[in-house]
Chain A
Amino acid sequence: MEKRVTFGSWTIGILFAVPQLLLIFTFFYWPAGQAVYWSLTLQQPWGGGNIWVGLDNFRSILANADYWNSITASLVFAGISTGLAMFVALVLAALTDRQLAGSRLYRVVLIWPYGIAAPALAMAFRFILAPEAGFMAVVNQVWPGFWDPGLDGTDAMASIIIAFSWKYVGYNFIFFLAAFQAIPRSLIEAAAMDGSGVMRRFWDIQFPLITPTIFFLLVINITESFQDSFGIVDIMTAGGPANATNLMVYKIYSDGFKGLDYSGAAAQSIILMLLIVVLTIFQFRFIERRVHYR
């Protein structure tokens, strides 16, 4: 889409774009280029600049079992938390859209979680799920040793998945509800006149019409689960126990800033970036086929 009427002097036009161009050059393109450069070189331990090592950084990362463990953990985390957050939000939005008494209240309250900072909600859940105080302690009294995210990797993974999903249920709910409300009422009423029940209407009318939103949220949730998880991991588990929750972004941070391995961290950044791009392309290629755009 283009404007018919425009302004003539194009020097002024470019001037308007200059501030943003300067910003994205300095803080986006330069660092991105730098990451590529670092990933292909190795910093000398005693100074003297970087030496070219080609793909050696990538080889050594990919040969490292810790790294594969981190990829697996990230994928498990992404898969389960996305599925959980989307399913729960879809159910809640579909039910809120039935507009029974009180649905206004749900519409207001169910989006609150998304406003909370990841580290703050991680703190809250660390307390709620703590094995010695809070609420899982009750379960631990009945079955001693049932729950301990500090020692058991699966429990730790479950904790960060719960915290992340809680926040993203709020996020998904906003989008699902907007999508449901965009469906014309007359369509649903006509279907009801023809004698179709609630479930039938959901599967044959509402669900196909919100597939674009489902697809959009799938892409966003998976991408965010790679990025937004940092605060939750840092506060709740710090990557432990025994690297069970050492997700990829957390590993980049700890290798780069605690281990001072810039080249390794840069190579990991690039792999993470490629992984996100590949996942996104995959979703567009294979899942979007089932999406009905109007």
Chain B
Amino acid sequence: MVERTPFLNFFTHLILFVGFVLCIAPFVVVAVAASHNLRDVNDVPMSLLPGNDFWTNIKTAWTTADLGPKLLNSFIMAAGVAAGKVIISALTAFSIVYFRYPGRTFIFWLIFVTLMLPLEVRIVPTYAVVANVLSPYQTILDLTGLSWLIGKVSGVEVSLSLGLLNSYTGLILPLIATATGTFLYRQFFLTVPDELTEAARMDGAGALRFFIDILLPLSRNNMAALGTIMFLWAWNQYLWPLLITTDQSHATAVTELKQLIPNVGGIPEWNIAMAGTLIVMLPPLIVVVLMQRWFVRGLIATEK
């Protein structure tokens, strides 16, 4: 820095070091607890030297909570949400920025409002919609009298029904239906120089060609940032997967953690529980470490 401040430097190091320890300690404790046997983990105080049962505990946790398929489910959900967000937000932002049509501002605000009301708050009715994803359309047909008309004319009774509970589609789609990515792309598209568009049009490129060959390659950085942040966000979802996967086949790793602890009051086998926790917290941690640059960028860009 600009001047010599040995006293302050000492305190800076001290406080940062304490912060570092507090930040890292839970990871260490989880890893160490996962390596003890049941007796050692309940020792007071627990020894911070690793025990010998690490792999046994990992195996037990893996089979008890059936983590193999669950991790796969988590991965499919997180990758699906990330990919869906990256694609659909790009399409919408392109439409809003590069076209002039009536109602454009209205569409912009329709999408903007979705930022105000997160899934957790409208959880119960969203669940009902996913139980039969066509119910909104059925209701509209009923209310407008269209289903009566169709019934009269063709003799077919209209009853639309498509349940998405316990399916990947049901896990993924509602998580994509927000505006976060759209605004990231919009901000970026607005900085793309007009000359580029002019040149492309002069060379005979239509909207689609311009979008695919010029705009998308330019937004690679944004896609990486958005993809990383959405992957993490989706991986860490808890309430939504907990609700819609009534069947074990589609449960995610994060929701399965609960299998490792008894209900409130009982004392869990902490070594097994911590081994499971370690497995579940590792994939997002690896993503953060490897993709740190994109993670930070994505977070700062999507939220601002």
Q: Give me the interface of A with B, judged by CB distance under 8 Å.
A: 1, 3-7, 9-10, 12-17, 19-21, 23-32, 34-35, 38, 88, 91-92, 95-96, 98-100, 102-103, 105-106, 108-121, 123-128, 130, 132-135, 137-138, 141, 150, 166, 169-171, 174-175, 178, 188-189, 192-193, 197-198, 216, 220, 226-227, 230-231, 234-235, 237-238, 240, 249, 252-253, 256-257, 262, 265-266, 269, 272-273, 276-277
Contact = CB atoms under 8 A, between A and B. Distances in A.
B89 A117 contact: no
A189 B258 CA distance: 53
7 contacts: A19-B91, A20-B177, A35-B125, A137-B44, A150-B264, A169-B23, A175-B299
Given A110-B19, A124-B30, A117 B88 contact: no
B89 A106 contact: no
Nearest to B3: A192
B281 A120 contact: yes
Q: Is the interface of A mostly helix, strand, loop or mixed?
A: helix
B282 to A, nearest CB: 9
Contacts, number: 311
A117 B9 contact: no
Given A118-B238, A132-B42, A111 B190 contact: no
Task: Give me the 9 closest cross-chain CB pairs, A-B, nearest first.
Answer: A13-B99, A10-B101, A16-B95, A115-B288, A31-B125, A117-B236, A34-B125, A231-B238, A17-B95
Given A119-B238, A120-B280, A124-B277, A252 B123 contact: yes
Given A10-B101, A231-B238, A269 B124 contact: yes
Interface of B: 1-3, 5, 8-9, 12-13, 15-16, 19-20, 22-24, 26-27, 29-30, 33, 41-46, 88-89, 91-92, 94-102, 104, 107, 110-111, 114, 116-118, 120-130, 133, 136, 173-174, 176-179, 182, 190, 194, 197-198, 201, 206-208, 210, 232, 235-236, 238-239, 242-243, 254-255, 257-258, 260-261, 263-265, 267, 270, 273-274, 276-277, 280-281, 284-285, 287-289, 292, 295-296, 299-300, 303-304
B124 A24 contact: no
A38 B304 CA distance: 34
Contacts of B236: 115-118
Contact of A100 (B12, B42, B207, B258): B12
Contact of A178 (B26, B41, B292, B300): B300
Contacts of A198: 5, 8
Contacts of A132: 42, 267
Contact of B19 (A7, A106, A231): A106
Contact of B30 (A117, A127, A262, A276): A127
B9 A269 contact: no
B173 A27 contact: yes
A91 B20 CA distance: 13
A120 B257 contact: yes
